[in-house]
Structure 1
Amino acid sequence: MSIRERIEDIELRLTAAYQEGDYQQVRMLENQLKEIRGQHSIVDDKEPYTPEGRFYPDDGE
């Protein structure tokens, strides 16, 4: 199962948990979603040339 598929699966389960009123399940699934998204972030905070208004060491400033 790819990361995108895992995220979509968790989002579907989140929707079902909200509809059922199972807020403990909602919190657990939201944490899983944050963890998955955090582990597979497109932006690497350690990369000096990442966008998002970060400092670029070659700017000479």
Structure 2
Amino acid sequence: MNSKETMRNLEQQIYVACSEGDYDTVNMLEHQLEMLRTKAEHPFDDDPYAPEGKLFLDDEW
């Protein structure tokens, strides 16, 4: 399941939980959705091999 499908699934679960009045579950699912959206915006933050924004010049190697 890709991240877009996961986000849609979470949004559906939030809708169902909200309609049932289960606001604790709504808060938990909203937190998960927000974390997933953040990860989608910054996909390489957890990647230990991703460049950290510094470009290396040839003479630095």
What TM-score, normalized by structure 1, do the two folds share?
0.67
Q: Percent identity?
A: 34
Q: Distance in 2 between matches of 1:6 and 1:30?
A: 12
Please give the root-mean-square deviation of Cα atoms over the aligned residues, in Å.
1.7
The Cα shift of 1:27 comes to 0.2
What TM-score, normalized by structure 2, do the two folds share?
0.67
Bigger Rg, structure 1 or 2:
2
Q: Which runs of 5+ in 1 are unaligned?
A: 48-61
State the 4+ residue runs in structure 1 displaced beyond 4 angstroms.
none
Q: Which runs of 5+ in 2 are unaligned?
A: 43-51, 54-61
Q: Distance in 2 between matches of 1:14 and 1:40?
A: 19
Aligned length: 45
